Amino acid sequence: MHHGPLDGLLIADFSRILAGPYATMLLADLGAEVIKVESPSGDDTRTWVPPARDGVSTYYLGINRNKRSIALDFGVEEDLRLAKELAARADIVIENFKPGGLRRFGLDYQTVSKRNPALIYASISGFGSGAGASLPGYDLLVQAASGLMSLTGDADGPPYRAGISVFDVMTGMHATIGILAALNHRNATGAGQHVEVNLLSSALSALVNHTSAYVSGGVVPHRMGNAHPSLFPYEPLPTADKDLIVIAGNDGQFRKLCHELDLPELLDDPRFATNEARTHNRAALRPLLVSKLRERPADEWFKRLTAAGVPCGPINHVDGGVALAEELGLDPVITVDELPMIRNPITFSATRTRHDLPPPGLDEHGSQIRAWLKETTR
């Protein structure tokens, strides 16, 4: 029998694409029962190929395990009745329709909570439910509008998007945090509530030091390639064969780096005595470090500097990242019904995560769920 921390909770998942499904997969991994409600045409990501595995989009596969699927057409009276019944029985509803989009079906929070006042109802949007309600919530738009793209890329090159839909993922995490907080409130009071998150607010929070630089310091950050505005070294540096990430996050690490590079004279140089000084004088310091790093290959420096307590590491492709996690005993890959997947990253000392159900086919569990919803046990 499964003993996950969220055992016994029922989630009605009316979301699609990434932010919502990622949140519901995290919650399902923790033990919640998730019923994925799809339109008859299915979640958009089912068709986002290539790549695919056995004809199914790996995008869809990556964020939809531990769920059961039912296809419902809200324009059909019986299907809408079943959707309302599901929301009435659920502990949690998650949706990412345009704000107000479920109101005409009677599936909005105000309507559903009248029948189910203990319900926690989470809404995910692109730009909030106010003046930005009509704006479409695509991650790329938010990467552009929030300022992230202005920070990504070479200083003299064009803005770039991040390599993943980073704000969809972060907003999914924020939705999960909000739901768990609301669950704690419900445990204390018995009352549910409406939790709202949006990509732009999550983005501004996730830009951390950069948004802080602006709102607290009046500084508008700019692109610096792989350099850091407040630390040096904290970037890829060339070696004899390839680039190596080298970090000196404090004065102690910088002293160790200088020792391993046989550059003791730098320790007495006032231009490099503190992090602030090193950051201001990076143009003078960088070539001094590089001249030594070029004497040996990256793998040799990686072993030597790591042993000395200097943070550094290779720049891998994704396969290398998975391989490193395996090498470190992190067991990144689990198999769910013969499907290899990246496991939930959280471990618990008293409970466990689950990886039981493979991502469902469209309406795979429809007949079973319909029969259950038609029962009059509630």
User: 3-state SS of the chain: helix, strand, coil percent to 5?
Assistant: 45, 15, 40
Cβ neighbours for 30, distance < 8 A, ≥ 6 positions apart: 4, 5, 6, 344, 346, 353, 354
Report the interhelical angle of 166-189 vs 19-29 (nearest 10°): 50
Alpha-carbon distances, residue 225 vs 104, 123, 241, 245, 246 (angstroms): 47, 35, 21, 13, 15
Phi-psi domain of 339 (left: phi exceeds 0; alpha: psi -120 through 50; beta: other)? beta
Separation CA 8–CA 133 (nearest Å): 34
Nearest to 35 by CA among 335, 360, 340, 355: 360
331 is catalytic: no
Taking the C-alpha atoms of residue 74 and residue 31, their distance in angstroms, rounded to an integer, is 28
Query: Which of 168, 243, 262, 268 is the catalytic position?
Result: 168
Compute CA distances 124 → 67, 108, 175, 347, whole Å.
19, 13, 7, 26
Q: Are 195 and 121 in contact, with CB atoms under 8 Å apart?
A: yes
What single-letter DSSP state applies at residue 360? P
List the catalytic residues: 168
